[in-house]
Chain A
Amino acid sequence: MSFNPESMINRTVSNMPPSGIRRFFDVAAEMEDCISLGVGEPDFVTPWHIRDKGIYSLEKGHTHYTSNSGLKELRAEICKYMERRFGLKYDPMTQALVTVGGSEAIDLFLRTVIEPGDEILVCEPSFVCYKPLVQLAGGVPVAIETKEENDFRLTPEELKAAITPRTKALVLPFPNNPTGAIMTKTDLEGIADVLRNTDIMVLSDEIYAELTYTDERHVSIAEIDDMYDRTVVVSGFSKSYAMTGWRLGYALGNPALIKAMTKVHQYAIMSAPTTAQYAAIEALKNGDADIQVMREDYNYRRQVIVGGFNAMGLHCFEPKGAFYCFPCIKSTGMNSEKFCETLLHSKKLAVVPGNAFGESGEGFIRCSYAYSIKNINEALNRMEAFLREIRK
């Protein structure tokens, strides 16, 4: 009998579906003249002064590990930033942990708090990582479907209905990928009212916090009364400073939780990349203007793409955050996968089926507007031609 490595893979991992996003783009990548609204990362390059500081740190020979929690100066800058932007006070020595992207911080949190069988509430549609990471940590992911009629916000009633005695934490991913939904202060107060007399924690994934297009700034649930201690805020540099490839994020929260998460981090990762940490210090110190410039550009594109979809009769709710829009394709009579597949093959336009972000995304497609206006206009033209054909 020959040894079969595949049979060695544990059930959790072998049952884990591959990300629904990848499948499409592997096809699209091979197609000539294919254009895409698929990529979920900024098209901007990291601003030069930030890259330059990374390079300088290498010239100075800063090539060692940092402390497990991250450079002290970086943690101090992160805490200063949180206070400056959101009025949230964290102690750099005990409440901040620098991680490999926001993703690692999410994983650390889940692995740190989940006991086998614990239920973790996950708002959907949302970023694809939460459910698999909950399962890997031995927990049970419980989806809460947010609805278009509520602007894809989580409502207190939906939250209340999902809570059981096994509920351990709520994953709150706003501004949201893929819908572009945001939660206002009032919305969050409603959520806080439900959570206040429970032991339920909040993992607030605020990686898109800097990319909102309303007059009021993003509000973190940690700012709401009684929510500070139960909330771990996860954020990072990828989206706000166009630093995806540097792989740098952070977690902020109660000292006991951060200490425990740091234990997991120190055994699995040791420390986040040193060069990236030096660059990130520069980003936090002198990068506010860069965010402003990029946000303005995203906002131009957002208005072009949302207006474009609505004009061609593809109803698109107004996304107020991140860099995605989530038009509804139910009027075509196709399901999301079929729509995307037909679109890709007939018009060489790649978008992501909404159900890749949870079942409640069925009937929608995710279109990223982290693309040049020229690319967006070409995509809109192709989409319009496609709709004309299928509606005939």
Chain B
Amino acid sequence: MANTLKSKILDILHRDCRISNDEIAKMTGSAADEVAQIISELERDGVIMGYGAKVNWDKASGPDSVTAYIELRVTPLESLGFDRVAERIYQYPEVKSVNLMSGSYDFGITVEGSNIREISSFISEHLATMNSVVGTATHFVLKRYKFDGVICGETETDDREVISL
């Protein structure tokens, strides 16, 4: 997908999903109609799964939240393999991401809750008790530095000085 209009649109939207079709058309030197068409195709094909702000929750005033990263070791279900296990895990709304991993554990899972107790009970009641799960290791996030390519807490400043060129 090297440098096609499609990949340019995805790149632009990934950085700023609030940008208008008109603006994308100007940036890429294409027609707004064509941009709209491509975006609806991307949505239809599930390439674009949704649009959301990248929120620094640590800064947002609101209920506290805790994020945990859980390493999960499982026995794949016969004939259904890892996919079936993953499907059972990602149904829980507390689970924000599920990845099948290479290396010493099978799934890397991010779970969010309003406090440590909530996450602990989720793990002990739902995750650890799941049939195929053979072990968990839970790591709580202490501080978030960078998220989806954006550095947290850093606001854009222009510190270029006056120079004669």
| Partner-B contacts on A (CB < 8 A) | 18-19, 21-22, 25-26, 29, 39-41, 43, 127-129, 177, 296, 300-301, 303-304, 307-308, 371-373, 377
Contact of A19 among B23, B28, B160, B164 (CB under 8 A): B164
Contact with A along B144-165 (1 / 0, CB 8 A): 0000000000001010101111
B28 touches A303 (CB 8 A): yes
B12 CB-CB contact with A under 8 Å = yes
Total interface residues on B, CB under 8 Å, equals 16
- Name the A residues within 8 Å of B3 (CB-CB): 296
Give every chain A residue within 8 A of B158 (Cβ-Cβ): 39, 43, 371
Q: Considering the chains assembled together, what is the distance between the CA atoms of A373 and B156 in angstroms?
A: 13
Q: Which of B1-22 contact A (CB under 8 A)?
A: 3, 8, 12, 19
Distance (Å) between the CB of A131 and the closest chain B CB? Answer: 13
Whether A304 and B27, one on each chain, are in contact in the complex, defined by CB atoms closer than 8 angstroms, is yes
Q: In angstroms, how far is the closest chain A Cβ from the Cβ of B96? A: 28
- Choice from A22, A177, A303, A308 contacting B29 with Cβ under 8 Å: A303
- CB<8 Å pairs between A and B, sample of 11: A25-B162, A39-B158, A39-B160, A41-B163, A300-B27, A303-B28, A303-B29, A304-B23, A304-B26, A307-B26, A373-B27
Q: In the assembled complex, which residues on chain B have CB atoms less than 8 Å from the CB atom of A41?
A: 160, 163, 165
Q: Report A379 CB to chain B, min CB distance, Å.
A: 13
Closest to B164 in A: A19
Complex-state Cα separation, A388 to B126, whole angstroms: 65
Q: What chain A residues lie within 8 Å of B12 (beta carbons)?
A: 300
Q: From DSSP, what is the main secondary structure of chain B's interface residues?
A: loop
Nearest 8 A/B pairs, CB to CB: A19-B164, A300-B27, A25-B162, A40-B165, A303-B29, A22-B164, A39-B160, A304-B26
Q: Which residues of B contact A (CB under 8 A)?
A: 3, 8, 12, 19, 23, 26-29, 156, 158, 160, 162-165
Complex alpha-carbon distance, A29 and B163, angstroms? 11
- What is the chain B residue whose CB lies nearest that of A42? B160
Q: Please, which residues of chain B bring their CB within 8 A of the CB of A19? A: 164-165
* Chain B residues whose CB sits within 8 angstroms of the CB of A307 once the complex forms: 26
Please determine whether A303 and B160 come into contact, CB atoms closer than 8 angstroms.
no
Residues of B within 8 A of A177 (CB): 165
**With the chains together, A372 CA to B156 CA distance in Å?**
10
Q: How far is the CA of A127 from the CA of B163 in the complex (A)?
A: 12
A87 to chain B, nearest CB (A): 23
In the complex, the answer to whether B165 meets A21 with C-beta atoms within 8 Å is yes
Shortest C-beta distance, B11 to chain A (Å), equals 8
Residues of chain A within 8 A of B26, CB atoms compared: 303-304, 307-308
**Complex CA–CA separation, A308 to B23 (angstroms):** 11
Q: Which residues of B contact A22 (CB under 8 A)?
A: 162-164
A40: chain B residues at CB < 8 Å are 163, 165
Say whether B164 contacts A43, CB under 8 Å: no
Chain B, residue nearest A38 (CB): B162
Residues of B within 8 A of A18 (CB): 164
Q: What distance in Å separates the Cβ of B7 from its nearest Cβ neighbour in chain A?
A: 10
